């Protein structure tokens, strides 16, 4: 296997050149009249030229053939990938999906692009305002095919794969290592990539139009905590100089539709590059968890890995939130998540293990959606067990990784999500049916109750 090394740091200014071509990065300028080794200079811009410097994103790529050389794009079948949020009537119910089916390779070969399925979303790629949530289920590698998203950023989390996938990019290759069990891949708008898989593979995608993901502000937490910038990795340059006589297909997601064009060379021909507009991988095991150490709950925003901010301060287009293994030590507290009605939409998935608030029914490879102001919370078994549990320090979510895509948009579910996939759990509401009244009008506070509160002077 090719040895690939990485540079660390979220949003850093990187520079890299393939060691096979030393000196391939131009010195002192971006666009010389003649680039070293006869390369072409090409800028990839992820922001308007006049954005404030902290928000300005671009990289310069020095490549063997520029990406402009291709045949015209033509429409490509979209399958179950859509931006039509009016296919079916709105559904305000609590929704839960059983694990989504992965096609058998013996029946049909399905690669990453063919295996994209949209579950829900809101907004519009044309106006650069909105999100889409997708599942991918595939069983074969992309051969002489790559994908790029002109509509927005793709945040990809893999849930199932016998051997972890390999992502080929222009920056160039992401490999898993044996210790990287739960990984997040992050491809920003316009970045081309191809996916090699080994067996049946499934995962989740959060797509954001019009804003880029960034690390959340830490406020009173201080300088350290949550997802640390140094743990985001970007690969060093490595080029592929390969002619493809049979044709190489570039698939472009544009205004919610797919288009394909042909070229006769591999797009992964970048010999050197520099800039701050890059893809990343991130190992969720490196997330530094913050939690309550006295009583009650801190809000789940303390588990935010990445956020895509809206123009309203403190309100996100989308947050990516995880619920990793941690200690639970709160006194006099119902420790699982509380019952809730939220002005945000909450889409949850499970990468592995058992989610603490619903140990049955919510399975890896499945999902749930609690829409704007739809009530949700622990099922009846969880409530009864934890209302009388001994409150001693305990490990929470050991061996588990659940996540949430939270959005300020009211998301519509697609026809595929509600009907075609045939994975909607129509019995989901029944997990709350056994909840019963514990109200006692003659209740008196216990003399032994100690809330550890300051005395009233």
346 is in an annotated binding site: yes
CA of 146: how far to CAs of 198, 260, 263, 279, 302, in Å? 17, 10, 11, 15, 36
What is the SS3 assignment for 157?
Answer: strand
CA distance 391 to 381: 17
214 is in an annotated binding site: no
Give the start-end residues of each E strand in 284-343: 304-309, 316-323, 326-328
Lookup result for tokens 């991130």: 282
Angle subtended at Cα 145 by Cα 182 and Cα 17, rounded to the nearest 5 degrees: 70
CA distance 291 to 273: 40
Radius of gyration of the chain (CA): 24
Q: Which of 117, 297, 332, 354 is catalytic?
A: 297
| Sequence-distant contacts of 222-225: CB under 8 A, at least 24 apart | 224/288, 225/288, 225/290
Give the start-end residues of each E strand in 310-400: 316-323, 326-328, 345-352, 367-370, 394-396
Listed residue (102, 114, 131, 80) closest to 414, CA to CA = 80
- Sign, CA dihedral 287-290-296-300, equals negative
- Residue 381 belongs to what H/E stretch? helix 380-387
Lookup result for tokens 């994103």: 57
107 is in an annotated binding site: no
175 is in an annotated binding site: no
Half-sphere exposure of 297 (CA within 13 A, CB side): 12
What is the SS3 assignment for 177?
Answer: coil
Say which residues have a Cβ less than 8 Å from residue 296's Cβ, sequence separation at least 6. 330, 333
Told to judge if 168 belongs to the known catalytic residues of this protein, a careful annotator would answer no
Active-site positions? Answer: 297
Residue ranges for the known binding site for Fe cation are 340, 376
Residue ranges for the known binding site are 340, 346, 355, 376
């Amino acid at each position: 296997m090719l040895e690939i090394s990485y540079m660390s740091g979220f949003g850093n200014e990187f520079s890299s050149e393939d060691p096979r071509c030393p000196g391939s990065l131009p010195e002192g300028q971006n666009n010389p009249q003649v680039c070293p080794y006869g390369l072409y200079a090409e800028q990839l811009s992820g922001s308007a030229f006049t954005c404030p410097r902290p928000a300005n994103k671009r990289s310069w790529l020095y490549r063997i053939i520029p990406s402009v050389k291709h045949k015209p794009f033509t429409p490509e079948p979209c399958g179950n990938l859509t931006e039509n949020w009016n296919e079916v009537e709105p559904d305000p119910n609590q929704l839960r999906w059983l694990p989504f089916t992965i096609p058998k390779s013996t029946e049909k070969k399905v690669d990453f692009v063919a295996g994209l399925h949209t579950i829900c979303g809101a907004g519009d790629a044309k106006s650069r305002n909105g999100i889409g949530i997708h599942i991918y289920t595939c069983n074969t590698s992309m051969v002489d095919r790559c994908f790029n998203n002109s509509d927005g950023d793709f945040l990809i989390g893999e849930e199932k794969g016998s051997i972890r996938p390999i992502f080929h990019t222009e920056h160039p290759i992401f490999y898993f290592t044996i210790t990287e069990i739960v990984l997040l891949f992050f491809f920003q708008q316009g970045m081309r990539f191809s996916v090699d898989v080994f067996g049946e593979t499934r995962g989740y995608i959060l797509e954001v139009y019009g804003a880029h993901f960034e690390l959340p502000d830490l406020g009173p937490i201080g300088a350290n905590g949550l997802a640390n910038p140094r743990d985001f990795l970007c690969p060093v340059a490595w080029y592929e100089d390969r002619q493809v006589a049979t044709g190489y297909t570039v698939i472009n997601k544009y205004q919610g539709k797919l288009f394909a064009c042909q070229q006769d060379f591999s797009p992964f021909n970048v010999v050197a590059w520099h800039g701050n507009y890059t893809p990343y991988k991130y190992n969720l095991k490196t997330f530094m968890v913050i939690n309550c150490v006295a009583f009650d709950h801190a809000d789940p925003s303390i588990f935010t890995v990445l956020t895509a901010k809206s123009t309203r301060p403190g309100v996100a287009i989308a947050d990516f939130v995880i619920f990793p293994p941690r200690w639970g030590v709160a006194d006099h507290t119902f420790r699982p998540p509380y019952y809730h009605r939220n002005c945000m939409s909450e889409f949850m998935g499970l990468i592995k293990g058992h989610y603490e608030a619903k140990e049955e029914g919510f399975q890896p490879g499945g999902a749930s959606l609690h829409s704007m102001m739809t009530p949700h919370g622990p099922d009846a078994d969880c409530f009864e067990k934890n209302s009388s549990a001994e409150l001693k320090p305990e490990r929470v979510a050991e061996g588990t990784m659940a996540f949430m895509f939270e959005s300020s948009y009211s998301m519509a579910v697609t026809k595929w999500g509600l009907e075609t996939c045939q994975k909607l759990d129509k019995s989901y509401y029944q997990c709350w049916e056994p909840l019963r009244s514990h109200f006692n009008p003659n209740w008196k506070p216990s003399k032994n109750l100690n809330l550890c509160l300051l005395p009233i002077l």
